[in-house]
Structures are given as structure tokens and as C-alpha cells.
Structure 1
Amino acid sequence: MSEGGVGTCPQVFVVDSQASYINMPTERKPRWTSQLQKFLLLLVGLAMLGIIVEGFLIYNLYQKTKEFPLSSPQHLYQNLSNPKAQSQVGYRGDSNEIPSVQTQTQQRAFAHLLGPSNSIGEGDVVQWVEEGDAVTQNMKYDKGRLIVEREGYYYLYSKVQMNAGEECVLIQHKVMKKTKAYDHPLELMQSKSHRCSTSRPIRLTSSEPEDLWNSYLAGIFQLHVGDEIYVTLKNIQKIRPGPSENFMGAFMVSP
């Protein structure tokens, strides 16, 4: 077109139909979402399994309880109204009556001995006293020895007090057991001390010096029916008599 023309021609754009289109990325779900779904499905599966197992156990327990005979409420009340039956528990398989079974408290054996009044015994065996606060239940006492009547584990203890103020003396405190399984006594516990009079001034009100020695022994042991438990004391003549200074005891802690 000449320079004096009215205007320039518009530009023409050509569209290439062979050009490839750009694919836009599709939206993806986060990875943690799929993992959370799998975890929830696992929890649901475990919960269902637990319900099935619990139902199976309850069914078995129900079947077992049907085998036990039950007494009527009226009959049970009549038995419990009897004072002798208040300490009885359990049922018999062939009857609705409550059997005569002692309570656990009545089955426990125990003893507490005081003393001694006459301390000298054969073989240095301490002779205890069954008077006053002394008590024995389901155990026998004979000449310083406790005789076991019920097998089980027992807590044994003994305390003695001696005066070693006059001269040097060997004091030996032992808890012994005589059982049918051995030909000789067994030593369960021991305390030993070599005591001499001290250089402390003697009180004018006292006729003889005092150097008191205390020994306490305790422990748990298995005892059988017929076992004998006793205490021996070397130089037993120097023991200070009295129920609070000297005692021996035993009580069952487990059958």
C-alpha cells in the first residue's frame, strides 16, 4: 500500500492444528488418607474379632455354670439363720445342704508362749508358760516344745533377755526344729554373743551388776504335722524371768 493510504492492514494469526495440548495434572488424594483408611479397617476387624472371642468365652462359662446345683433362696436363708452354719461355705454335689466346712480363720494355727517361770530345762530347752496372755490354737505345747498339727508355712519368733554382768559368758540363742525326716534336730535360727561385765559403776541400789543382752529371732519356715519347735539358750540360768522380756510364738501364714 502507498504511503498515502488510509491505514495499514490488520495482522493475520495462523493457528497450528498439529500442536499438542498440555495435559493438566489430575488431583490426587494425599497418601496419608489412604493409610488412615487401612488403619481404621484394621481396627474394625480387630474389634469384631474380640467380640466373637468374648461371646465364645461367655457361652462356655454359661455352659459350665449350668452344671452346678443351686439351692433355693428359702433353703439358703434357713441354713444361714443357724449360728452354726454362719461359718460354713460351699455346696455338696448330691445335696442342697451347706456342708460343715470350717472358715479360713478357724483353720489357721497359732501360739504365743510367755515366761519362763522355771527356765532350766533338759538340753538348755527354755520352759515356757501357758498362763495369762499365752494362747495356743491348733497347736500343742509339751515341755517347752510346740507341736505342729497342721502343715503349712509358719512365722516363728522368739525373744530372750539375759544378764551377763557378773562374768564373761557365751550367750547362744537358737530356734530348733525336730522332725521325723531327720534323726537329729535342725537349727532354724541362731544368735550368738560373747558378753563380759562392763567397767560401769555399780548402782548402790542394786545388789549385783547388770549387763543386759537382748536377742530376737524371727523367720518363715515350712512345717509338717508332728514337727516340734523349741528354743535353746546357752547359760540359761542367767535369763531374766518375765513375760514381756521373754516369749516365743508361731502362726500360720499360708497352708
Structure 2
Amino acid sequence: MAEGNAGAYPQVFVVDSQASYAPLPSGKSLRWTRFGQRLLLLLVGLALLGVAVEGHFIYYLYNKTEPSSLCLSLSICQNHSKTSPQSGGNLLSRIGAKETNEIPPVPTRRAHPPRPSAHLMGSGSPVGEKNVVQWVHAVGDAFTYHMGYDKGHLLVEEEGYYYLYSKVYLNAVEECSYIKHKVMKDTKAYDNSMELMKSNRFHCRTPKASKDQRTSGGEDLWNSFLGGVFHLHPGDEIFVTLEEGRKMRQGTADNFMGAFMI
């Protein structure tokens, strides 16, 4: 070998059999990738369609139930449950026509108190037998509720504690008068009447009333009031007695008696 040929060595390539390499995608893998993308798009489309259907269903239910809620708020529909779904448009038109600022009329019927009660007022013949004061029980402001009335006696129907009251207006036509104003009770437990409240007063005409006799008609007015709480039972009778009943001034507002359960 000549030394002049030393620079013409052959090139050597080393192949590493352990080196890793990225395989090229095959045609089958590409087909599966495209199929997965299409399937994903299909699922997304189905989800959007389901949302649209659900929204339409909610809107339909809202339109169907809205007339019923309007009827309840305006109190103008009584038989809506019997009407057909097709009448919704007519119903809404009727509601729109009747929606005004008019205030409904207040019923004139007197409302009853929640518990037994009564208010009796003076009558034209104030005193009956045994000095029992007679009353008006169903005229004007006089009334009875769950209580009865019979010839001056207030009849108890329900057991409980009652506030009883009585007022009489008197005219001392004489120089001096002795007045006995009492609230009495008849009960099945006793044969005789029981005194619940009483007022014994001795009254004489005042000098001023005597001087003004010509202008005032000789009236010297004064009153007696009694009131208290008592336990009453069904069948008890409450009444008022007044001695010298002729001195009682006649008038529905001047004399009264009443009771109410507390």
C-alpha cells in the first residue's frame, strides 16, 4: 500500500439496533380517529337537541298554568278546572278586560263576635214583675250571640267566665230617693236568686236642680253602673232588678245590660 493513498479510507455507518423510533400511523388508525370525532359531534348534537326540547316543554307548561295563577290572584274564575285547554286565550282576554282598580263592595251583614256575648238596651216599659228590668234584645245595636233572652232574663248557653255589666239612668223626681240597683242570677243549683252585684244609693235633689226646675223640667239625673267577672254555667239566667223603677229614665242608650265571655 502506498502512503499517498492514506486519506482514502472507506466511510463506516454504525446502526444502533436499540434506538427508539416513532411509527408512522397506519391507514386503520386514521379511520378510527375520524370515526371517534364524528361520534363526539353526534353526541353533542343530541345533547343540544335535548336541551331545546326541555326548554320548549317548560315554556308550554308555563303558558298552560299561567291562566290558573291569574284566576287565583284576581278571584274571577270559579270553574277553570272544567274548561278545556283551548280556552286559555279567551280566558286571558277576559282577565285583561276585567283588570281594573275598582274596590269590591264590603258586605253589609254584621260579623258575629268570636265568643258568646249580648248587649241589651232599655225598652219602653222598663220594669216588669218583681222589679225585673225589661230590655230590647234584637233592635238597633242590641243583640244576642250564643245567648238567649226571655222576659228580662239573659240565658247562658256555654260555660265560661263572663264579664257582666249594667247601667241605669235615673231621675230623682222627689227630694230624696233610695235606689237599689242589682245584677241577679238564677241557677239550677239553688232555689232562690243570687245577688252578683248591687248598688244601694240614697240620693237627694241638688239645690242647683231646684233653681233650674223651670228650664230643665225638674230633672235631676244621675246613674248607677255595675260590672264584674263571674263563672257561669249553661242554664244560668242573669237579670237586673231596680226598686223605684218609675224613676228610671226611658231611653235605649241611657240604660243597658250586657255580657261577654272572656
- TM exceeds 0.5? yes
Partner residue of 1:135? 143
The answer to whether the 8 A contact 1:166-1:210 is kept is no
The answer to whether the 8 A contact 1:175-1:187 is kept is yes
Q: 1:172-211, aligned counterparts within 5 Å?
A: 172-200=180-208, 201-207=211-217, 209-211=218-220
* Counterpart Cα distance in 1 of 2:222 and 2:200: 11
Instruction: Tell whether 2:226 aligns with 1:217.
Output: yes
Amino acid at match of 1:247: F
TM-score of the pair, normalised by structure 2: 0.54
Give CA deviations for 1:118-163 in whole Å, capped at 9, x if unaligned: 1121111100012111010000000000000111110100111101
- Structure number with bigger Rg: 2
* Counterpart Cα distance in 1 of 2:213 and 2:145: 44
* Counterpart Cα distance in 2 of 1:120 and 1:249: 17
Aligned-pair identity in percent equals 58
Give CA deviations for 1:155-198 in whole Å, capped at 9, x if unaligned: 10011110114232111110000000011000000111111222
Pick one of 147, 159, 169 that aligns with 2:155.
147
The two structures, once aligned, show a CA RMSD in angstroms of: 1.7
1:152–1:236 CA distance, 2 compared to 1 (3 A): same
Higher helix share: 2
Pick one of 167, 170, 178 that aligns with 2:175.
167
Give CA deviations for 1:179-223 in whole Å, capped at 9, x if unaligned: 00011000000111111222220342333x222121111110000
Moved over 4 A (4+): none
Give CA deviations for 1:24-77 in whole Å, capped at 9, x if unaligned: xxxxxxxxxxxxxxxxxxxxxxxxxxxxxxxxxxxxxxxxxxxxxxxxxxxxxx
Aligned residue for 2:215, secondary structure, equals: coil
Amino acid at match of 1:126: V
The answer to whether the 8 A contact 1:115-1:128 is kept is yes
Amino acid at match of 2:145: Q
Amino acid at match of 1:204: R
Aligned residue for 1:242, secondary structure, equals: coil
Instruction: Tell whether 2:252 aligns with 1:243.
Output: yes
Q: Which ranges in structure 2 are unaligned for 5 or more consecutive residues?
A: 1-111
Aligned residue for 2:246, secondary structure, equals: helix
Amino acid at match of 2:182: K
Partner residue of 1:114? 121
TM-score of the pair, normalised by structure 1: 0.56
The answer to whether the 8 A contact 1:165-1:198 is kept is no
